[in-house]
Amino acid sequence: MKKLFFSIVAVLFSLLIFGQNPEKNIKNPEKVKNTLGSANEFLSGRILIQIKETSYYQPVKKGRRRAVQKENTISSGFYGRVSQSRVKVFQAKPSERLKCEAYTSCPVFNGSSKFILNRDSNTMKIIESKEFPLQVTTKYLEQDFRWVKNQEKYVVIASQSASGINDLEGINIEIKPYKPANNSEGATLAPLKPSYVLWITGGRDWKLTDEPLKNGTNLRWDDFKEQLKPVNESISIGIPYEINSPEKPQENGENRYQQLLWHDVKGFDEFLRNPIMDYGMTASGNRYYNDEYSETKVNVIVSLSLGVAIQLPKLKPMDEIDVTPLEPLEEEINLTPLKPIKD
């Protein structure tokens, strides 16, 4: 697991608007003059991460199971470095991409919302860094059976929603050649057409013990009142520390894990070699987990934009951010994949 080491930043940040794919802006990339040259090894960016999760928990009662819905939206700026030498090698000899194993760090781009530029060689203290806070929105809804007027009814027993700046945590972004991870049955064949995979993790400075908390809507079931009641407790806007991991196999027993892939390898390589315009990409993946206690389906969508000088939009007022609580599920939905997930 890659680690991030962060310091605190207290700056408000807005939801993000993403750049266009350079293929739409450059009709003939080969004819564009390289005015920037190889000196542009550092790029800025912005990212939007949307995660939706639905879980059911055993046992079954009256045809229903305890249900939990979660939604998280994370947006931030970031800064990072291009590995020009690695891009050149991959362009000249595509077979070298296959040497980048699922578990190894071999990025063509490596960035972070808290990117360290320089450390003191003696103390390892951070001297220079580029830092961007996270704008996080979180929603949670739980349903289960509770007694209401001497009858067991399937009701909402918890509902939470909150939004705010999380300056205690950050995200790390690595874009590397994709090679499927081995599953429990052994090696997995590499795809015939090369792709890049997004390796995205969350993290924090472990010296910080505070929890990123914000006020919001926080309702819990009151057994005495037999209804949802507000509670005077702040809500965590902490982020997951695994957002996409190339180390996870596509299939492992009943579990499925679809990677966040980008297939425009040629276009992205050309951009990294000559980043004269912004480059945007969007990748999505579904996951399915099943064991004797629970069943979960997750959908992840990541949009990011890269450029030499990405302009961050002005802040939206906090009251314009959608924190509408989630709607309860009227009936149990089928989470099981109908067919194996393919990248």
Per the CB < 8 A criterion, the answer to whether 72 and 138 are in contact is: yes
Three-state SS annotation for the chain: CCCCCCCCCCCCCCCCCCCCCHHHHCCCHHHCCCCCHHHCCEEEEEEEEEEEEEEEEEEEECCEEEEEEEEEEEEEEEEEEECHHHHHHHHHCHHHHHHCCCCCCCCCEEEECEEEEEECCCCCCEEEEEECCEEEEEEEEEEEEEEECCEEEEEEEEEEEEEEEECCEEEEEEEEECCCCCECCECCCCCCCCCEEEEEEEEECCCCCCCCEECCEEEEEECCCCEEEECCCCEECCCCCEEECCCCCCEECCEEECCCEECCHHHHHHHHHCCCCCEEEEEEEEEEEECCCEEEEEEEEEEEEEECCCCCCCCCCHHHCCCCCCCCCCCCCCCCCCCCCCC
Q: What is the pLDDT of residue 35?
A: 35
Q: What is the pLDDT of residue 39?
A: 53
Q: What is the pLDDT of residue 118?
A: 83
Q: What is the pLDDT of residue 268?
A: 97
Q: Token digits for 206?
A: 């472990």
Q: Token digits for 17?
A: 């608007």
Q: What is the pLDDT of residue 313?
A: 55
pLDDT tens for each residue of the chain, 343 residues long: 444 433 333 333 333 333 333 333 322 333 333 333 345 789 999 999 999 999 999 999 999 999 999 999 999 999 999 999 999 999 999 999 989 999 999 999 999 999 988 887 887 787 888 899 999 999 999 999 999 999 999 999 999 999 999 989 999 999 999 999 987 676 676 777 899 999 999 987 666 678 899 999 999 999 999 999 999 999 999 999 999 999 999 988 889 999 999 999 999 999 999 998 899 999 999 999 999 999 999 999 999 999 987 666 554 555 556 777 888 888 787 887 755 555 5
Per the CB < 8 A criterion, the answer to whether 4 and 170 are in contact is: yes
What is the spatial distance between Cα 164 and Cα 141, in angstroms, rounded to a whole number?
A: 19
Q: Token digits for 159?
A: 């509902």
What is the spatial distance between Cα 288 and Cα 296, in angstroms, rounded to a whole number?
A: 6
Amino acid identity of 320?
E
Q: What is the pLDDT of residue 326?
A: 85
Going from N- to C-terminal start, the domains of the chain cover 22-319
What is the spatial distance between Cα 144 and Cα 152, in angstroms, rounded to a whole number?
A: 10
Q: What is the pLDDT of residue 33?
A: 33
Q: What is the pLDDT of residue 17?
A: 31
Per the CB < 8 A criterion, the answer to whether 179 and 98 are in contact is: yes
Q: What is the pLDDT of residue 327?
A: 87
Q: What is the pLDDT of residue 261?
A: 97
The alpha carbons of the chain give a radius of gyration, in whole angstroms, of: 22
Model pTM greater than 0.85? no
User: What residues contact residue 85 under an 8 Å CB cut-off, 6+ apart?
Assistant: none
